[in-house]
Structures are given as structure tokens and as C-alpha cells.
Amino acid sequence: MCDNQKGILVVVSGFSGVGKGTMMKKLMKEHKEDYALSVSATTRSPRPGEVDGKSYFFVTKEKFEDMISQDKLIEYAQYVGNYYGTPKDYVFDQLKAGKSVILEIEIQGALKIKEKFPDTRLLFVTAPSADDLKKRLVGRGTETEEVIANRLKRASEECEGIEKYDYLVINDNLSEAVDKVHSIIQNSRFNNLGEIEQDLIINNTEYIKEMKSELKGFSKGE
């Protein structure tokens, strides 16, 4: 990486259980000199293995609302019954240090970030099919059946906003998907846009149409 190049702000969103967390962990491991991964605050309870301050800052609703009133968050949103938000200081510090900062956040937050910082690149991660998505969410074994159903319903709603994103990444083979994310960020950052034309959301309309229809089936309980 060239030290004289400024980092960029990148949002990675995607349906619950698609593998965003797994991908970001691998990306950070392989390219830690290039990226800083923002750690969000949330009011949801930690899953087994999640570490406070690393996976999330796990806070109470009162503490989260204090953070909002003290203007400590760049954005925040509610997702399936909990607050999630991005602390400001870390993001600005890392950008100043020349790193590209990755926010792994949902769509409402993504759109707020794009409005505030129009140069932000928005990436959406999906699975090969809605069936694969459900299998991963169930297979992770961290949520109740009711929460899984709500998250799949939310996936269907989120899919309606997918055209607001810039790039699509299908997480089929994990390593290839992680390489793709790195390639999109680097090519976009250095303006080699021809290299990543096939990854533009607007060039994947057939796939998106199919995914929307499959997810609608789940949200109706099919």
C-alpha cells in the first residue's frame, strides 16, 4: 500500500447469517495494514465467543441513548429489537492515519453514512441463494427460531433497498469472496473501475430479481 494515499470509508452490509462477520475477520487477518474495522456499540446480548470491545461494545439501552445524546455516534439504527451504532472517534482517527475504514452495518445506517460522506463505497454481501442463507443462519445455532424468522423477514425488506448499494459480492467460496471484497475496495480506491464493472449492483439485476423473489417466499413463511 502507498503511504501517501488516503484511506476510504467502506460500508459492508448483507443479510443476517450471510457470512459478513466471517469474511471481515479473514479480510482483516490478511490485510491488516490496509484496513481498520470499526467496532459498533449495541444493546443486544453477546453471543457465545463474542468479546466486549472486540466484537461489539455491549451496552445498556440507557448507555446507548446517552451516546446518542452526546453525539458520539456517526450513525445508529434499530435492528430486530436492538440499537446498533458506529462510534465516531475511532473511524475518524483511523481515516486520519491513512487506513480504509470498514463499517459492517445494516442498510439504514449505510444510507445515513452515504448521505453524510458521499464518497463512501457501499458493498452488499449475499449468499448464492436464499436457501443457503437460511441454512447458514440456522447452522450458526446462535438464535432462536423466532429471531431467525424475524431476521429472514428483515432480509426480504433489506433486499428491496439493494439497488442503493454500489457493489455486490456473492459469498459462495469464502476465500474468493474475501479476495473480491479486497479487489473492489482497492480498485475503487485507485479508480480502476473497469476491473470491477461486473461487480456493480446494476450489472447483477437478474440475480437480484431471483433473490428478492426467494426471500419474499420466506417472509410469507413458505
Q: Which residues bind ligand 5GP (CB under 6 A)?
A: 16, 40, 44, 75-77, 79, 84-86, 104-106, 108-109
User: Which H or E run includes 42?
Assistant: strand 41-42
- The beta-strand segments (E) located in the chain are 9-14, 35-37, 41-42, 57-58, 73-79, 82-87, 100-104, 121-126, 167-170
Within residues 41-100, the interface with ligand ADP by CB under 6 A covers: none
**Given 38, 156, 171, 204, the residue binding ligand ADP (CB under 6 A):** 171
* DSSP one-letter string for 109-168: HHHHHHHH-TT-EEEEEE-SSHHHHHHHHHHH--S-HHHHHHHHHHHHHHHTTGGGSSEE
Indicate whether 161 belongs to the interface with ligand ADP (CB under 6 A). no
Least Cβ distance, residue 78 to ligand 5GP (angstroms): 9
List the single partner that 109 binds among ligand ADP, ligand 5GP, none, CB under 5 to 8 Å by kind: ligand 5GP
* Cell (9 digits) for 43: 444493546
Amino acid identity of residue 1, one-letter, is M
List the single partner that 77 binds among ligand ADP, ligand 5GP, none, CB under 5 to 8 Å by kind: ligand 5GP
Indicate whether 16 belongs to the interface with ligand ADP (CB under 6 A). yes
List the single partner that 140 binds among ligand ADP, ligand 5GP, none, CB under 5 to 8 Å by kind: ligand ADP
Least Cβ distance, residue 130 to ligand ADP (angstroms): 14
Least Cβ distance, residue 29 to ligand 5GP (angstroms): 19
Q: Which is nearer to ligand 5GP, 79 or 165 (CB)?
A: 79
**Pairing between β-strand 82-87 and β-strand 41-42 as defined by DSSP bridges:** antiparallel
Nearest residue to 6 (alpha-carbon basis) of 115, 122, 95: 95
* Residue with the three cell numbers 474468493: 176
Site string for ligand ADP, 109-138 (x = CB under 6 A): ---------------------------x--
Q: Which is nearer to ligand ADP, 59 or 170 (CB)?
A: 170
**Cα-based distances in Å from 61 to 45, 82, 180:** 11, 8, 37
Amino acid identity of residue 36, one-letter, is A
* Residue closest to ligand 5GP, measured at CB: 109
Binding site for ligand ADP (CB under 6 A): 14, 16-22, 136, 139-140, 171, 174
